Homo-oligomer: A and B are copies of this chain.
Amino acid sequence: MVMTALQPDHEAAAGILPLAAALTTPAIFRVIGGLHPRLRAVAGYHCGLADRHGVPMAARRGKMLRPALVLLAARTVGSAPERAVAGAAAVQLVHEFSLLHDDIMDSDPERRGRLAAWRVFGTSTALLAGNALLASAVTVLDGLPAAQSELTVAMSRLCWGQAEDLHTGPEPSVTHWEHLAAAKSGALLAASCRIGGILADADRSAIAELGRAGAHLGLAFQAIDDWLGIWGDPAATGKPVGTDIAARRLCLPVVFGLADPGPAAELLTELLLVESVPTLSDFAAVVAALDLSHAGESTLAYARRHAASALDCLSTLPMPSAVLAEWAELIRFLTARTA
């Protein structure tokens, strides 16, 4: 979570996130410290642990959602979160790798309210730093083959999702969007939950249930992400609105807007089939059409439904009520997040 004065309530809302940051950051520091000096500079900057000159800073870190899932999953099946720290670091490193390469591929100029790493250090160095983070993520799980295997499967699915995301898909249906979101976000979130269970020696059925919860959270997360990409506050998200629309990426509000039986669908079809580069006024018109069809509300309702399904999955697992309450808190943070 970007720690700005705008959102103290969310920061307070999910106690597992600061714990995840506190437990995971030292491991990530160690990994980054072991990289080639040039890659260390990029990775430290990108992960929000240092400024562009390598001077440590702590305020621009990611939300640590994936590490939190690992640690909470471990706690769910009766283990101390400390036991799952390697898994937490590994999933965060994969996440950071994917953001670093995403920014290069999309030529996104900003990340977490700062210049994207490729703009500071150049494309080649940023690309290599991403590769180094990916290799390190696997190495961090050395000696933990079951967790490692989960991670690499998620990495492959992530690549699949990124490839699918590069071009507009065949049809803007919810089914297709879910297929994409399950790969792009769901795979790593589900793997995070499963890895937490694996590192805590949970039984197979508990691991499967944790994975199902994570997959639902992936859909909820991506829905919110798509919503923020249109209606979010750039000052809080750290990136401009409208980039999904401009890149004609399949996003859930547009899927809902196009499926609306009213006039919004026609307007959207017209706007989104224009081949020229979209302008700011195109974006305003798209937002107006989406608002007409209540696509934003539908998207948030979709996210809440999958968040509830995640909690339903988790409720089938025996755990102390305090841990279930932490899940509820984390899931509430996830669906109410503004960044």
Contact = CB atoms under 8 A, between A and B. Distances in A.
Nearest to A144: B145
Nearest to A36: B163
Identical copies in the complex: 2
A168 interface: no
Contact of A156 (B136, B156, B160): B136
A44 to B, nearest CB: 14
A104 interface: yes
Given A127-B105, A143-B145, A148-B145, A135 B163 contact: no
Interface residues of A, number: 38
A109 to B, nearest CB: 16
Contacts of A162: 128, 131
Contact of A159 (B131, B153, B158): B131
29 contacts: A35-B160, A35-B163, A36-B164, A39-B159, A39-B160, A101-B128, A101-B131, A105-B128, A125-B163, A127-B127, A131-B131, A131-B159, A131-B162, A132-B160, A132-B163, A134-B134, A134-B135, A135-B152, A135-B156, A138-B138, A138-B148, A138-B152, A139-B149, A139-B153, A142-B145, A143-B149, A145-B145, A145-B148, A148-B148
A134 B136 CA distance: 12
Contacts of A119: none
Contacts of A153: 139
A38 interface: yes
Interface in A181-197: none
A204 interface: no
> Which interface residue of A153, A158, A166 has the most chain B CB atoms within 10 A?
A166
Given A36-B164, A131-B159, A145-B145, 4 more contacts: A101-B131, A104-B127, A139-B153, A139-B156
Interface in A228-269: none
A161 B128 CA distance: 10
A159 B145 contact: no
A167 interface: yes
Contacts of A124: 104-106, 166
A155 interface: yes
Nearest to A167: B38
A152 B105 CA distance: 24
Contacts of A164: 36, 38
A159 B132 contact: yes
Contact of A142 (B106, B142, B149, B159): B149
A262 to B, nearest CB: 35
Contacts of A132: 156, 159-160, 163
B39 A163 contact: yes
A45 to B, nearest CB: 15
A52 to B, nearest CB: 17
A233 B142 CA distance: 43
A155 B39 CA distance: 14
A38 B136 contact: no
Interface in A108-143: 123-125, 127-129, 131-132, 134-136, 138-139, 142-143
Interface in A1-60: 35-36, 38-39
Given A39-B159, A156-B135, A166 B127 contact: no
